[in-house]
Amino acid sequence: MKNYENVTIFNHPLIQHKIAMLRSKDTGMKDFRELIEEITALMTFECLKDVPTRQVMVTTPLERTEQTIVIENSVAVIPVLRAGLGMVNGVHMLFPTAKVGHIGMYRDEETLEPKEYYCKLPDGIEDKIAIILDPMLATGGSAVAAIDLLKKQGVSDIRLMNIIAAPVGVETVATAHPDVKVFIACLDRQLNENGYILPGLGDAGDRLFGTK
């Protein structure tokens, strides 16, 4: 896959270790959920390294000092239902005041086209950093549709966080929306004939919520 300026692929050993556990079919629902949250928190550290800040005065036991804090209402997260829900706590661990919007989307099993069924976004989202959360980037159809939707709402700073991605999904998003910063924990090999990522981790929504 070619290099895209706005695509960050982590390849960090601490993240790779957690992804190895996440992939295993022997990892149960509780551990799966916790691993998704932990990986998301590690990714958030990088994704929000340019979050807006302001200066405040703090009094230590010894003196008054000027310090940097984040601007609390500057971030919103938008999990793509269902699997994106599993990533919300991971962002909240580091940025507890992030507002949460929801986009409901599922892939048609035959065509793999995304079908939108729900959308509720926080007021004022157009002025915030909006981070779309979805553990899986397969064909890229769902991510492109979610970004299209946010752009129609007037959001200009859109970021996408995926834990596992297929090369075709990255290429589709980076081509359709070159301005969107994409953060991927791990780039996998390919899709299978049913649109599942290989080696992947299976169906993220089913593994998070125990539906199969």
List beta partners, residue 102: 120
Choice between 99 and 107, CB closer to ligand URA: 107
Alpha-carbon span 36 to 78, nearest angstrom: 16
Residue with smaller CB distance to ligand URA, 101 or 205 = 205
State the minimum distance, in angstroms, from the CB of residue 119 to ligand URA.
20
- Residue 116: what are its φ and ψ, rounded to 5°? -85, 135
**DSSP-derived 3-state class of residue 11:** coil
207 is catalytic: no
- From the CB of 75, what's the least distance to ligand PRP, in Å? 21
> Minimum distance between the CB of residue 195 and ligand URA, rounded to whole angstroms?
6
How many Cα atoms sit within 13 Å of 182 on the Cβ side? 34
- Give yes or no: 26 in active site: no
| Alpha carbon separation from 110 to 106, 114, 206 (Å, rounded) | 12, 11, 18
| Cα(19)–Cα(12) distance, integer angstroms | 10
Task: Examine the residue annotation and report whether 139 is marked as an active-site residue of this protein.
Answer: no
Are 36 and 87 in contact by the 8 Å Cβ rule? The answer is yes
Residue 148 annotated among the catalytic residues of the structure: no
> Cα–Cα distance between 37 and 31 in angstroms, integer?
10
200 binds, among ligand PRP, ligand URA, none (CB under 5 to 8 A by kind): ligand URA
Q: In this structure, which amino acid lies at residue 211?
A: T
| 48/84 with CB nearer ligand URA | 84
From the list 111, 54, 57, 101, the residue with the least C-alpha distance to 80 is: 101
Find which of ligand URA, ligand PRP, none residue 112 binds, CB within 5 to 8 Å per kind.
ligand PRP
Residues that bind ligand PRP in the complex, under the rule CB under 6 A = 80-83, 105-107, 112, 114, 134, 136-143, 169, 195, 203-205
Contacts to ligand URA by CB under 6 A: 83, 136, 138, 196-197, 200, 203-205
Q: Name which of ligand URA, ligand PRP, none residue 78 binds, using a CB cut-off of 5 to 8 Å depending on partner kind.
A: none
Of residues 74 and 83, the one with the C-beta less far from ligand PRP: 83
The Cα–Cα gap between 181 and 5 comes to 9
- Shortest distance in whole angstroms from residue 162 CB to ligand URA: 10
| Residue 123 in tokens | 């007021």
CB of 26 to ligand PRP, least distance (A): 21
Residues assigned a catalytic role: 107, 111, 203, 206
